[in-house]
Amino acid sequence: MGRPAATALPAPFRPAGIWVVVALVGALGAFGCLLAVRAIERGDPRPGSKPYPTARPVPLPFGSMAVERVDKLQEAAAPGTPGRWKPGSAAALARVQVSVELAFANGASKPVRLDASRFSLRLGDGASARRLAPAAGSAGVVPPGAILPASVRFDVPRTRSRLLLELRAPGASRPALVDLGTATTRTRLGAGVQVLARGHIH
């Protein structure tokens, strides 16, 4: 009788391949984070189509925009409206004054000019959304590598729609939207005032 056929033994387990895969996944994750950071620093010509929360910086073609503060104040109807001075009347609570304080960071190599005409306040979303022009606002030039504080104010009729701050930034292919909540003025700071500072509602 001949010898039985030799059986090949499995090769010993070598974990080197697993470590290579882990290293590649880690490197890809770090690269993704780097791209995200650079998109905010250098800007993005296409801000997201969905509204940004107030706590998140909005990427722009030249850098970014951050919402620092939002004040909502009860405002009466225009002078001459009957019942304007009657507490609690519809005329006394006809409008809400929405003031937004912002900060623009310029990560580009050229100065950028901004003014209130680039802003609007969208009431609601979709085809039936109404847009309001600013009642007042600041203007200025952001030098390269600098941060410019800015402000804009709107007189908003009483509405249950969400308030979306809209910015048509220079070089952007679509407007940037920031969700400012609703027109309610109920807060713990006193009647008629609502404040958001970097995402914290007081």
Torsion sign across C-alpha atoms 59, 62, 63, 67: negative
pLDDT of 90 strictly over 80: no
Average pLDDT over the chain, rounded to an integer: 74
Mapped onto helix, strand or coil, the DSSP state of residue 117 is helix
Closest by CA position to 66, among listed 116, 104, 113, 106: 104
pLDDT of 33 strictly over 50: no
For position 6, what pLDDT does the model report? 53
Provide the 10 A C-beta neighbour count for residue 181.
Answer: 16
Percent of residues, the chain, with pLDDT higher than 90: 34
The residue with greater pLDDT, 172 or 96, is 172
For position 26, what pLDDT does the model report? 57
Question: pTM here?
Answer: 0.67
